Amino acid sequence: MASNQEIDSSGDIAKISHWESVWRNTKTVHGFSRYNYYDFRLADLFQSLAGPGSRVIEIGCGGSRWVSFFDRILRCESWGIDYSPEGLRLTKRQSAGRESLVRLIQGDFFDESSLPHEYFDMVYSGGFVEHFSETAVVTSRIAQILRPGGKVVTMIPNFVAIYGLLQRAANRGVFHKHIIMDEILLDSAHSAGGLTPVMPAHFWGCFCPGVVNYGRLGRVVGLPIKVLQQAICWTLHALHSDAESRLTSPFILGVYEKKKQSQSSADPDKRCVES
């Protein structure tokens, strides 16, 4: 994602100009907090997949708190890549004091020279894949940088039901920057890229109208919405009733794996001898 031009070779329907505008108008990004329901839920998932020394990257990391989380809390070798200078500026704030340890790359994710091949133990993206019309190109590129046996965590907004209707009503322009995908399409996109589901895509989270971009109206409704969704989600969690469904869940999440090479395919000479 070249920093000074629009990228459309992989079907980028959001474009760098959109993200520059979004992040330029974002004053602060909150850091990781276990008091935040969705941070709490994601942290548990990440801790089950990566640990100290794991090589982890977030693609589309502009404005993210997770690069810092992987570094400071999980003690991973933490990377991030994004084409938005403004987005990376916010991400760097989260990693202040750790610049020598965190590797943030401003560049084109699809440029094969930008990242090492078959290197990462885990690749995370939250709201990335669905911004490209050629989703298989995205997942194939993810598979390219993932080591055999490595895991991919992909999360996208659930715009197939009520949140999609809200987004269309509140900010139609933002709605049309998304490919609308359900859990079946998300799994299919990863399978097309050579990745195998280990936790098939499913509707994730119980209630989060904050997933919608409300445009200027967000300045008015943003805080009340955050308070409401945290109260509802934590209450349901305390009752062991994290109700997740196509209608109410704000996200779709799946975990995928790059298969390890079999001994026979990895060692052609040995295969010939055995045959």
Are 100 and 118 a contacting pair, CB within 8 Å? no
Q: Tell me if 268 is assigned to some domain.
A: no
Q: Tell me if 165 is assigned to some domain.
A: no
Provide CB contacts within 8 A for 148, sequence distance 6+.
118, 258, 259, 260, 261
Helix axes 218-238, 37-49, angle to 10 degrees: 60
Q: To which residue do tokens 């990895």 refer?
A: 266
Q: Which residues on neighbouring strands pair with residue 252, listed in sequence order?
A: 156, 203
Q: Tell me if 86 is assigned to some domain.
A: yes
Q: Tell me if 220 is assigned to some domain.
A: no
CATH number at residue 101: 3.40.50.150
What DSSP designation does 258 have?
P
State the pLDDT at residue 133. 96
Tell me the C-alpha distance between 182 and 234, whole Å. Answer: 25
Provide CB contacts within 8 A for 45, sequence distance 6+.
153, 255
Answer whether 0.85 is exceeded by the pTM.
Answer: yes
Q: Tell me if 144 is assigned to some domain.
A: yes
Query: Is residue 29's pLDDT more than 90?
Result: no
Per-residue pLDDT tens for 40-88?
999 999 999 999 999 999 999 999 999 999 999 999 999 999 999 999 9
Residue 18 banded pLDDT, cuts 50, 70, 90: very high
Residue 262 banded pLDDT, cuts 50, 70, 90: low
Are 258 and 149 a contacting pair, CB within 8 Å? yes
Task: For residue 112, give its domain range.
Answer: 16-158+180-206+250-260
| Rounded alpha-carbon distances, angstroms, from residue 64 to 39, 87, 124, 164, 181 | 12, 8, 11, 23, 22
Are 194 and 143 a contacting pair, CB within 8 Å? yes
Q: Tell me if 233 is assigned to some domain.
A: no
Q: Tell me if 275 is assigned to some domain.
A: no
**Chain-wide mean pLDDT for the chain?**
91
Give the mean model confidence (pLDDT) for residues 172-183: 97
Q: Tell me if 88 is assigned to some domain.
A: yes
Are 131 and 15 a contacting pair, CB within 8 Å? no
Q: Give the rounded percent of residues in the chain with a pLDDT score beyond 70.
A: 92
Q: To which residue do tokens 């490919």 refer?
A: 179
Tell me the C-alpha distance between 7 and 110, whole Å. Answer: 10
How many structural domains comprise the chain?
1
